[in-house]
Amino acid sequence: MTMAAHDSSARWRTFLTEAKEDRILLLLSKQAPPYLEIPFHELQAFDPEFADDVLEHPRQILDRGSQTLIEICRERGEDIDAVLRVGELPRDSRRPLRDIGTSDIERLRSVDAIITKISDLKPRLHIAVFTCEACGNTIEVSQRNERELVEPLRCPADSGCGGSRNSKENPTRFNLVVNISRMVNNQWIEIQELPENVPSGAQPTRASVLVEGDQVNRHLPGERIVANVMPVVRSEVRRNRKTPMFDIIYHLISSEHESIPFNEIQISEEDRDEILEISRREDLMKLMQQSIAPSVFATGVMHYVKRSLALQLFGGVSRINPDRTRTRGDIHILLMGDPGVAKSQVLNYMSKLSPRGKLASGGGVSGAGLTAAAVRDAFGDGRFALEAGVLPLSDRGLAAIDEFDKISDEDRKVMHPAMEQQEIHVAKGGITATLPSRCSILAAANPKEGRFSKRGPNQSVMRSFNETGLPPPLASRFDIIWMIRDEVKVEDDERIARHILDMRTQGVSESKVEESLDLDPSEEQKDQIFATGVDDAEHFTLEFLRRYIAYAKRNIHPDLDENARAEILNYYTNERQSYGRDDQMGESEVIPITARALEALIRLTEAHARMHLRDVASSEDAKVALAVFRHWRDESGIEDESELHSGISASARTTNTIVRSILRDICSEGDGTAHITEIYNRASVRKVPETTVDDVLSHLRMSGEVFSPRNEVYQFAR
């Protein structure tokens, strides 16, 4: 330890009174929280040698700094239990979490991490006050180890009786006095190294971090932070005995929340120039489309699927409104399809392509699931911890969820706000929190029976959606729903088969790559912009496209101009008027498009403008968005958007109303019951077939609205 460290109290006093007088006055006025955080560069500018000592001996020097700050406040008439912290550490003190070892113990280090769990709050003894039973003397003991209560060994002879617990001549015992001991709020968080920093094939490293004082309840699962920590060691205990093996735990000194989106992706000036040049290409949309899962051959509707996925990667602009409401900019897409149509392959590629992309399976997610969960004893101390699921961990990125039809009942309950408001409200195990889920969702769903049944000429995609077993209102949260069928078409079948065979021969043996006998083909493309697929189609390399997307989402936030607004407005009003028809009550029965679809159109328009790095979205962007939107609506057979909310089409609602009305009329005319023959006869007059009548009656019985007191006789339950 240098002379600067030995003289740290005097140096802190000089620095605080000269450089931080305004902050001290703010503390004294009690208008600020009782802590003072000092950026490291300010300390370095004041005294470089002393700043280096802070990194090497943080425990002693920061403790003296806090004590000096408390003394300064007391000298000015205020008893404030203030804490001094150091933040914004230099880059050379930053370490990958997996590399922190013995040389970093008890030193100040910073790590890039994502928070995966937080525990609830507990008080911890900071300064324990004991009384001697023999003489009543009080003794203060500083509690350094959060896992063990340290008691006094002896009562001081100069102020007490000099007795000890193990003395036969002068024995005594010590009792803890809780009400005059100093406590500090305490919380555990679990951090994990960033996914993009995990070596290929390795598991992400996790660590437990102790958070105390003013820093508790300032973090949420899913947040990305720079954690300024002091690693310390604690002996492993087995069978109540300490071992020579040690665990590393981390004390949080300070933290910085990430403020720049996608700052983990470094973009050089050369990259920026290349991105700007590429953005001016007339065939940019085609290139983007071809760059989505190039190994998946596109035929028919898959061309538009890839186009919509390219727009999803860029997304619209999330906005905060004057009334404090928030409008999401992320685009949600659902892929429904038969087995073998490459849904999983597309999801896997999109999760790798999107900055902060995560891949999960609805049926294979454990623990926190897709949203969040309260886990008991996650940190070995018996308390509950809040663990983030896939959506909070994908915040500001993309969550690719395969087998979406198999998500848990717990996740289904909270998926609506998670997708629309992009918040997850948690109240579990005594923990209440709101986690952000500001991510695009790309989901793939399968039918319960293995394959989707063929839709009739007047049936929409909602028939297929109902076959997944998902609740119908969930469909309305997706901006686009694609149905991908495995249909027998001789020409397409041959082209797909040739493509698959060519892909097999183009790849490199995995064993050779692992044994360093051959190069990984993806490594060869890292510094390239373009690559060529087996079909000779040019597309962007994955690494370049990731940089392009990060640059666009970080810097481009387009607004719609008047022409774009007019294009969208004309489509919306024309659709409302062309499909709307009146029923007998004079009210519109069919709702062809709603405001929710209008917002989806705006997001797609902004995404196309952002893809071209335009700050203003024009009519050209709106036309591309409308083309994609029209195509999915035509493919899906959506003529009544209320079907997306309820799962029931306008015609089905009309039929239900007719049958219910017939049943009520017959019951009111007689003894309160209706025979099936009379129901059939009256329904036939109104052109409702018997099979439809049976379906409606079955539904009414299942809902409890109608019951059958005897065979072929029906009666209202109330």
Domain ranges (residues) in the chain? 1-88, 90-259, 265-324+471-646, 650-716
The maximal CA–CA distance of the chain, rounded, in angstroms, is 109
Measure the CA–CA gap between 251 and 116, rounded to whole angstroms.
Answer: 17
Q: Reply yes or no on whether the pLDDT at 311 is more than 90.
A: yes
Distances from the Cα of 70 to the Cα of 66, 182, 412, 677, angstroms = 6, 15, 51, 90
Model confidence at 642, pLDDT cuts 50, 70, 90, reads: low
Q: Reply yes or no on whether the pLDDT at 300 is more than 60.
A: yes
- Predicted TM-score of the model (pTM): 0.79
Measure the CA–CA gap between 45 and 232, rounded to whole angstroms.
Answer: 28
Which tens digits make up the pLDDT trace of 38-91?
Answer: 999 999 999 999 999 999 999 999 999 999 999 999 999 988 889 999 999 999
Which tens digits make up the pLDDT trace of 487-525?
Answer: 777 777 787 787 777 777 777 777 777 777 777 776 667
Tell which CATH classification among 2.40.30.200, 3.60.60.10, 3.30.1490.20, 3.40.50.300 matches the domain 265-324+471-646: 3.40.50.300
Give residue 365's pLDDT. 66
Which tens digits make up the pLDDT trace of 671-689?
Answer: 888 989 888 898 888 888 8
* 90-259 is classed CATH 2.40.50.140: yes
Q: Please work out, in degrees rounded to the nearest 5, the angle formed at the alpha carbon of residue 137 by the alpha carbons of 133 and 141.
A: 100
CB 19 within 8 A of CB 51: no
Give residue 587's pLDDT. 46
Q: Reply yes or no on whether the pLDDT at 457 is more than 70.
A: no
Q: Which CATH class is domain 1-88?
A: alpha beta
Measure the CA–CA gap between 625 and 602, rounded to whole angstroms.
Answer: 8
Give residue 427's pLDDT. 76
Which tens digits make up the pLDDT trace of 565-618?
Answer: 999 999 988 887 765 444 444 444 555 677 888 999 999 999 999 999 999 999
What percent of the chain clears pLDDT 70, i.e. is strictly above it? 91
CB 636 within 8 A of CB 481: yes
Give residue 329's pLDDT. 96
Give the CATH number of domain 650-716: 1.10.10
Distances from the Cα of 269 to the Cα of 250, 275, 540, 551, 636, angstroms = 37, 10, 19, 11, 44
